[in-house]
């Protein structure tokens, strides 16, 4: 019988998630003496997976803002989030436990990079923290006084701008130094990779600037292991490796594969459900349809000697996508502290403390006021129709900017800036294609937002529709609304039909 566990969530967390392990998965983890950690930016979660003494899986979950790349650095975890790189350090000593856990990862240091869409993150043998800066299409490092320092960029990228030109995403170390990278295309235009998802992907050798593999489909998670460059050909659902200039597939998996780690003779691979409306036309779709099955979310354990899947972890309910996975060797049951309950307030240690100390009893935290401002969005009072008008913006004061990676989920915080409400729209009308957006801002604060949906109809014709257009009543909608529409139409590259009300 499969091992099933409802995750250990903080009291104020989002709805519960069901996680089921295949027959014997718990025993396999114990035999290998490992635990696993994995991220999902889709629902803002870090998961830690281990074993309980009673034969059940122990799953601990904590909420972070868009966690993506994950890396084990000795006894710490590095994690790339929306605008920060986090270090979570273990606060338990050898033989020490806390609530049954033998590792307690505590958010201890955060490096603020800005929202650059960082993907893979690593610590090199020379102790340099590097990360794939996907929006700026470069490999980057931390540098005091700056958001980041560019270290390397693909030879086809001529300018560092926040346009996600090739979707540079994966980084592999060889002998502890950055050696290989993956990208979804070799394009040098804003979001140009989206038109090359099927076979435009490449793997690159960083020291020589050479492309060592091409013809890939949205490759992710390159890892150098046992003398081979392994990677995930995400658009075909395959794990494989570089073999004499070609991709040699080893295992097909029923999902968009992303997140790869190794231990002994095994590979751990993350699977995500297909976002078919945004990533249609992949060969993975055709293969799943031929098999009569749907894409899955979870983890697969693969025997490298045979290519067979020996264990699976299935995740259901709100989590549909994973990004990265790491192995925690020698760990039985890991846990982490988060920001949603008060353990992070109360648990402290110091040299000579003889372990963790509880400094104060649990207290109920008051909720945040609805008037608390969300970064980048206007205050609620500014949204009112009778709010006082702002002075007309001067020439060049309004900044029009493309907003990347739009989905119904990550548009929820912006619902007050949509008209008609997109939150209400998705409840009655499914998404048909790619969402593209342009914002207008003054002094760094958003004052207008226009969103279009672009799709291919049943006659294979491209269609585009303006589905939301809103300008703050305080900022002259009669002037900004037409300008936003014009910028969005230029971005989409075709005339827009119009269902937006204002």
Q: What is the DSSP string of 77-98?
A: EEEE-SSEEEEEEE-PPTT--B
d(CA 53, CA 58): 9
Is-contact 269 232, C-beta < 8 A?
yes
d(CA 261, CA 301): 10
pLDDT of 258-303, one tens digit each? 999 999 999 999 999 987 555 668 999 999 999 999 999 999 999 9
Angle (CA) 200-114-66 rounded to 5° is 65
Note the pLDDT of residue 55.
81
Q: What string of DSSP letters covers 420-462?
A: S-HHHHHHHS---SEEEEEEEEETTEEEEEEEEEEEE-TTS-E
pLDDT band, residue 465 (cuts 50/70/90): very high
Report which of residues 410 and 167 the model is more confident about. Answer: 167
Q: Reply yes or no on whether the pLDDT at 389 is more than 60.
A: no
pLDDT of 326-346, one tens digit each? 999 999 999 999 887 778 888
Residue 214's DSSP bridge partners are: none
Mean pLDDT of the chain: 88
**Full set of structural domains in the chain with CATH:** 3-358 (2.120.10.30), 380-498 (3.40.630.30)
pLDDT band, residue 7 (cuts 50/70/90): very low
Q: Reply yes or no on whether the pLDDT at 12 is more than 80.
A: no
- Counting residues of the chain whose pLDDT is more than 90, the rounded percentage is 68
For range 354-367, the mean pLDDT: 66
Element (H or E) spanning 40, and its range?
Answer: strand 34-40
pLDDT of 476-502, one tens digit each? 888 899 999 999 999 888 889 876 544
- Counting residues of the chain whose pLDDT is more than 70, the rounded percentage is 88
Which pairs from 245-253 meet CB under 8 Å and 24+ separation? 245/212, 245/213, 246/213, 247/213, 247/215, 247/216, 250/302, 250/304, 250/307, 251/300, 251/302, 251/307, 251/308, 251/309, 252/287, 253/300, 253/309
pLDDT of 397-430, one tens digit each? 888 888 888 888 888 888 889 999 999 998 898 8
pLDDT of 27-79, one tens digit each? 999 999 999 999 999 889 999 999 998 889 999 999 999 999 999 999 999 99
pLDDT band, residue 370 (cuts 50/70/90): very low
Sheet strands (E) in 52-209: 57-63, 70-73, 76-80, 84-90, 103-112, 118-123, 129-133, 138-141, 149-152, 168-174, 177-183, 201-205
pLDDT of 125-159, one tens digit each? 999 999 999 999 999 999 999 999 999 999 999 99
Sheet strands (E) in 284-414: 298-303, 309-316, 325-329, 334-336, 347-348, 357-358, 398-403
pLDDT of 88-117, one tens digit each? 999 999 889 998 999 999 999 999 999 999
Note the pLDDT of residue 501.
45
pLDDT band, residue 369 (cuts 50/70/90): very low
For range 355-361, the mean pLDDT: 79
Neighbouring CB atoms inside 10 A of 159's CB total 10
Report which DSSP code applies to 191. Answer: T
Note the pLDDT of residue 457.
84
Report which DSSP code applies to 329. Answer: E
């Amino acid at each position: 019988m499969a091992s099933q566990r409802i995750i250990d969530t903080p009291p104020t967390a989002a709805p519960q998630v069901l996680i089921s392990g295949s027959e014997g998965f718990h025993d396999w983890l114990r035999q290998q003496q490992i635990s696993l950690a994995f991220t999902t930016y889709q629902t803002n979660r870090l998961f830690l997976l281990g074993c309980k003494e009673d034969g059940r899986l122990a799953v601990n979950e904590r909420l972070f803002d868009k966690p993506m790349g994950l890396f084990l650095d000795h006894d710490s975890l590095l994690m790339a989030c929306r605008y920060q790189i986090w270090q979570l350090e273990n606060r338990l000593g050898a033989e020490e436990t806390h609530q049954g856990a033998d590792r307690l990862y505590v958010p201890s240091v955060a490096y603020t990079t800005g929202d650059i869409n960082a993907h893979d993150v690593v610590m090199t043998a020379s102790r340099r923290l590097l990360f794939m800066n996907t929006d700026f299409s470069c490999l980057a490092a931390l540098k005091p006084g700056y958001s980041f320092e560019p270290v390397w960029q693909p030879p086809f990228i001529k300018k560092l701008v926040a346009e996600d030109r090739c979707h540079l995403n994966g980084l592999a170390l060889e002998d502890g130094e950055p050696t290989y990278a993956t990208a979804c295309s070799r394009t040098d235009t804003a979001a140009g990779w989206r038109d090359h998802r099927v076979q435009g992907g490449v793997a690159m050798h960083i020291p020589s600037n050479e492309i060592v593999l091409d013809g890939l489909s949205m490759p992710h998670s390159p890892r150098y292991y046992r003398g081979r460059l392994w990677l995930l050909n995400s658009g075909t659902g395959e794990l494989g490796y570089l073999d004499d200039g070609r991709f040699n597939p080893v295992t097909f998996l029923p999902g968009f594969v992303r997140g790869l780690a190794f231990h002994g003779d095994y590979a751990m691979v993350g699977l995500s459900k297909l976002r078919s409306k945004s990533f249609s036309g992949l060969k993975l779709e055709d293969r799943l349809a031929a098999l009569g099955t749907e894409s899955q979310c979870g983890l697969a354990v693969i025997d490298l000697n045979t290519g067979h899947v020996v264990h699976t972890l299935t995740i259901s309910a709100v989590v549909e996508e994973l990004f990265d996975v790491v192995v925690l060797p020698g760990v039985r049951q890991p846990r982490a502290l988060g920001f949603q309950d008060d353990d992070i307030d109360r648990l402290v240690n110091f040299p000579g403390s003889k372990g963790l100390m509880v400094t104060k009893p649990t207290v109920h935290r008051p909720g945040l006021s609805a008037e608390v401002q969300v970064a980048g969005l206007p205050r609620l009072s500014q949204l009112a129709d009778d709010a006082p008008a702002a002075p007309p913006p001067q020439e060049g004061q309004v900044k029009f900017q493309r907003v990347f990676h739009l989905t119904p989920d990550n548009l929820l915080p912006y619902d007050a800036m949509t008209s008609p409400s997109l939150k209400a729209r998705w409840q009655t009308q499914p998404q048909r294609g790619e969402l593209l957006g342009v914002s207008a801002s003054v002094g760094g604060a958003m004052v207008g937002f226009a969103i279009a949906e672009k799709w291919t109809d049943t006659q294979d014709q491209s269609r585009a529709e303006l589905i939301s257009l809103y300008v703050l009543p305080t900022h002259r909608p009669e002037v900004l609304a037409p300008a936003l529409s014009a910028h969005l139409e230029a971005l989409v590259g075709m005339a827009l039909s119009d269902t937006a009300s204002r």
